[in-house]
């Protein structure tokens, strides 16, 4: 391909840039590359560190859900709990990992490089722990492991959220958790929360025939069911995204089941 230097384009028309979604970005970008991103509807360029929009390094203004991996290990005794970061993850994505054991008193060690967001109260099993991280290069498809004091089964989900530019920091706010052998409802308060932000809920169910169902209000919230053993619906992830210019709302989350489950929720501000 020819290289143009000091080129003047004497025309009043337009140049067509490379067009594609975020996953189509060059795998080894070079400083100054420019393209149109169809996921975010912006022209973006590579500034040597991350993909940015014009105007300095760009402003994180829009977020979207990019995928989850789920794991349900029923009746498997292990103190090492594992799951895999989604294979389509990119550097600069925000990842939230949930690991839940079927024993309420079991503690967990935070995996290296991750931040503990919150964990379930110790009454009635199962008990969930949630962790967050801004992903780096080469983490897609890699294994995340936590060490629990003991477990007779476990469930896990790892979900990723992507911005119009790489996410550089996060703050988890207003964590809530309810659990036990009943139908539960709770509210994630939006007090003190600014956009862009994501309300995230996770649900795990105990091994057995029950079918826990996660719901979130407002009705346009999205629920992603991972599925576990036959007859189970958990683990599940729910989310509601508030991009720049929108005001976060209180989010009601509930589970309709009489089995044992752990229902957690929080907001995560992304920058």
pLDDT at 56: 43
Which of 41-50, 51-60, 240-249, 259-268 has the largest mean confidence? 240-249
Pair 205, 258: CB distance under 8 Å: no
Confidence tier at 22 by pLDDT (50, 70, 90)? confident
What is the rounded average pLDDT of the residues 143-167? 90
| Closest alpha carbon to 126 in 94, 155, 149 | 155
Work out the burial of residue 264: count CB atoms within 10 Å of its CB; fewer than 13 is exposed, 13-18 middle, 19 or more buried: buried
- pLDDT of 223 > 80? The answer is yes
pLDDT at 151: 75
pLDDT at 251: 98
pLDDT at 217: 96
b/e for 22-58, b at 16 or more Cβ within 10 A? beebeeeeeeeeebebebbebebbbbeebbbbeeeeb
Pair 235, 98: CB distance under 8 Å: yes
pLDDT at 53: 67
- pLDDT of 238 > 70? The answer is yes
User: Lowest mean pLDDT: which of 75-89, 201-215, 235-249, 257-271?
Assistant: 201-215
Confidence tier at 59 by pLDDT (50, 70, 90)? confident
More confident residue, 119 or 228: 119
pLDDT at 160: 97
pTM score: 0.80
Q: How far from chain centre, in Å, is Cα 45?
A: 25
- pLDDT of 268 > 80? The answer is yes
Q: What is the mean pLDDT of the chain?
A: 87
What is the rounded average pLDDT of the residues 24-40? 84
Distance, CA of 124 to CA of 106 (rounded, Å): 11
240: which 2 tokens?
């509601």
Confidence tier at 112 by pLDDT (50, 70, 90)? very high
């Amino acid at each position: 391909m020819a290289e143009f230097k000091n080129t003047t384009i004497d025309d009043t028309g337009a140049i067509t840039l490379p067009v594609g979604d975020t996953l189509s970005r060059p795998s080894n970008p070079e400083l100054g590359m420019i393209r149109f991103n169809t996921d975010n509807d912006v022209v973006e360029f590579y500034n040597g560190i991350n993909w940015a929009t014009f105007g300095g390094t760009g402003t994180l203004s829009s977020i979207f859900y990019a995928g989850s991996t789920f794991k349900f290990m029923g009746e498997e005794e292990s103190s090492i709990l594992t799951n895999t970061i989604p294979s389509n993850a990119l550097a600069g994505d925000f990842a939230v990992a949930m690991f839940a054991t079927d024993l309420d008193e079991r503690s967990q060690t935070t995996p290296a490089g991750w931040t503990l967001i919150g964990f379930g109260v110790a009454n009635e099993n199962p008990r969930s722990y949630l962790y967050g991280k801004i992903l780096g290069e080469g983490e897609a498809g890699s294994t995340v492991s936590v060490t629990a004091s003991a477990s007779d089964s476990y469930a896990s989900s790892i979900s990723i959220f992507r911005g119009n530019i790489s996410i550089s920091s996060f703050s988890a706010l207003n964590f809530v958790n309810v659990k036990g052998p009943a139908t539960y409802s709770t509210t994630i308060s939006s007090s003190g929360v600014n956009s862009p932000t994501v309300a995230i809920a996770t649900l795990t169910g105990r091994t057995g025939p029950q079918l826990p169902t996660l719901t979130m209000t407002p009705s346009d919230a999205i629920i992603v069911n991972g599925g576990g053993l036959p007859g189970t619906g958990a683990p599940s992830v729910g989310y509601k995204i508030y991009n720049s210019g929108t005001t976060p709302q209180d989010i009601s989350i509930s589970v309709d089941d009489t089995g044992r489950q752990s229902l957690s929720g929080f907001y995560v501000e992304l920058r």
